[in-house]
Amino acid sequence: METPSPGAPPTCWPPQLGGLRASPFPHPALHVLHSLARGLLFPAYWALDRLLVFCVPTRRTPFPPFTPLPRGLCHFLVTLLGTLASLLLLLAALPLLFLGLLLWVPLQYWRRPFCYQPPPGNWTPPSPWCPPSDPHRSFGFLSANLCLLPDGLARFSNLQHSQKRAEWMGTALLRGAKGPNYGATGSSPPQAGSLVGELISTLPDSLDFVCLQETFDLRAASKLAQRLAATLGPVIYDVGTTGFYSGPQFKLLGSGLLLVSRYPVLNARFLPFPNGRREDALASKGLLSVQVQLGMLDRQKIVGYLHCTHLHAPEEDWAIRCEQLSLLLGWAEQFEAQSDKEDDAVAFSVLMGDLNFDNCSPDAQEQEHELFNHFTDPCRLGPGQEQPWAIGTLLSSPMLHCPVACCPVKLRSVLEQEDGRSMYLAGPPTGTLPSGSWRGRRIDYILYRRESNTLLIPAVDRVTFSTGLAGLTDHLAVGLRLRVTAQSRTTSDLGKAHIQDQQTEQ
């Protein structure tokens, strides 16, 4: 048999996906029973959701005055009738609810904490990266909080119509993932060493990995996963450990995480946070860690690590977030140590998600966490110090339905001005704008680990803040493009020998 030359493309691409079955259950019968349990729970879930829709006020009236009645009276009558109908349906669905819970709760013991949507049989991933014939390759990452909650809960964030928003978000994500590098923004590829942050009105082009948060509505998440997998590649969704959990705790919702990869997924793991308080205690937030294969280097697999999370939300609970940061840092290192083989070359390790704290508020304990000693935040100069081009990612909830906030181009234009940022970006937790230019609260992050003495060296090409999902969510999307360079074996070996000599002398 002929031995492939170093740097040659792998003979089998994409590789076989080991152990990632589509169903989260080990036996088809358990999957059928779980689907039956969810069917029994759905009428009560839908009735409760409708009840919240009619009871939670919105910043604008969704019911136009089709009758000659005054608009306020018409809205009152529709709300009253809708509330009564939802209550009656909820009462009628209670027997099915109890039966569904009796079936659903024990099934969580056998359920793997995520669903895997494989790509179709004709799916073709990006060509494998094979240095040294191709010494550089860029990878595009995107993190976005979609607020895809059930409609009743989404109204607390002044959003609604989660099913429709999921369809429109899918269209926007597919458009961004399939675009050419830097084509839509009208900018040329950055020169080496020129770190640039940019506010754009479209999603960044050529996305390879997408981490989404708050995809809590399972109908919307399933539709989004199927659509993205059909075009982009494997999707991991419905992530979380629900039911009874050690503590004891009872989790009604998953983590809301959804991950899309255009490269083959080799391994995945989810671990839930053991702490949580108030409304966050009902959600199974945690860390989703994924290993992907990017190509081959001298018969070594080139792999990348993705860590996706969404931290505790209430602003005053900084101690809980600090504990979660410590947990996820240890879990990420453990996952990489268990997955990394001696013959694997690691291209990157990236942490993405909504961390629910900023780097501009005074006395924020999370800013000093040791996480930032292990992962690099390209938007941050230090604790409490941001890059001059970095802006906040959390939008002002009362302004979400303004015409400007619903148009990506207009929103980008106003956010370039200080007056526009103070109006359309969420204010600080204290409620008072600090002196100086207000740039908003940046709570959505993409961090990367800067390794030393490796064959593959990542560097930042570009950071983007995108208004491409304007009108669909209450967050800006954050993008990062990493350029990974393959060193020669000789250079790497010399560097390792130099380090060893220094350690021996000490």
Residue 494 has pLDDT above 50, yes or no: no
Residue 11 has what pLDDT?
Answer: 60
Range in 64-68, 119-123, 126-130, 441-445 the model is least confident about: 64-68
473 contacts 197 by C-beta, under 8 angstroms: no
Which among 254, 279, 369 has a CA at the least distance from the CA of 323?
369
Residue 145 has pLDDT above 60, yes or no: yes
Mean pLDDT within 339-346: 81
In this model, does residue 188 exceed pLDDT 60? no
Q: What is the pLDDT of residue 7?
A: 53
pLDDT value of position 370: 94
Element spanning 245, H or E: strand 243-245
Lowest mean pLDDT among 96-110, 170-184, 344-358, 445-459: 170-184
pLDDT on residue 333: 94
pLDDT score of 468 more than 60: yes
- 180 φ/ψ angles, rounded to the nearest 5 degrees: -75, 160
In this predicted structure, the answer to whether residue 105 has a pLDDT above a threshold of 60 is yes
Tell me the pLDDT band of 129, cut-offs 50, 70 and 90. very high
What is the structure's pLDDT at 319? 93
Confidence bin at 191 (pLDDT 50/70/90): very low
Q: Which residue has the higher pLDDT, 82 or 246?
A: 82
Q: What is the pLDDT of residue 56?
A: 80
Residue 357 pLDDT exceeds 70 = yes
Residues identified as active-site = 475
pLDDT above 70 (res 253): yes
Residue 182: band (very low, low, confident or very high) from pLDDT cuts 50, 70, 90: very low
Using one digit for the tens of pLDDT, what is the confidence trace for 219-245? Answer: 999 999 999 999 999 999 999 998 887
Residue 40 DSSP SS3? helix
pLDDT tens digits, 413-467:
999 999 999 999 998 877 666 666 788 999 999 999 977 557 899 999 999 999 9
Could you tell me the two tokens for 453? 């003495």
CA nearest neighbour of 489 among 456, 460, 458: 456
Q: Work out the average pLDDT over 396-411.
A: 93
Q: Are 251 and 264 in contact (CB under 8 A)?
A: no
Percent of the chain exceeding pLDDT 70 equals 84
The vertex-314 CA angle with 312 and 319, nearest 5°, equals 65
Mean pLDDT of the chain: 85
Mean pLDDT calculated for residue range 91-106: 94
Are 425 and 415 a contacting pair, CB within 8 Å? yes
Q: What is the pLDDT of residue 270?
A: 97
Name the residue with tokens 């110090």.
Answer: 385
The backbone torsions φ and ψ at residue 103, rounded to the nearest 5 degrees and listed phi first, read -90, -40
What was the pLDDT predicted at 247?
63
Are the C-beta atoms of residues 310 and 285 closer than 8 Å to each other? Answer: yes
Mean pLDDT along residues 260-278: 92
Average pLDDT (194-219) is 91
pLDDT digits (tens, 9 = 90+) for 289-330: 999 999 988 788 999 999 999 999 988 889 999 999 999 999
Are 472 and 162 a contacting pair, CB within 8 Å? no
For residue 497, pLDDT beyond 90: no
What does the pLDDT average to over 122-129? 89
- 226 alpha carbon, distance to own chain's centre: 17
Q: Shortest CA distance to 283 belongs to which of 310, 248, 329, 251?
A: 251
Spell out where 214-363 has E strands. Answer: 235-237, 243-245, 249-251, 258-261, 265-272, 286-297, 300-310, 344-354
pLDDT surpasses 70 at 61: no
Q: How confident is the model at residue 96 (pLDDT cuts 50, 70, 90)?
A: very high
What is the predicted pLDDT for the residue at 64?
37
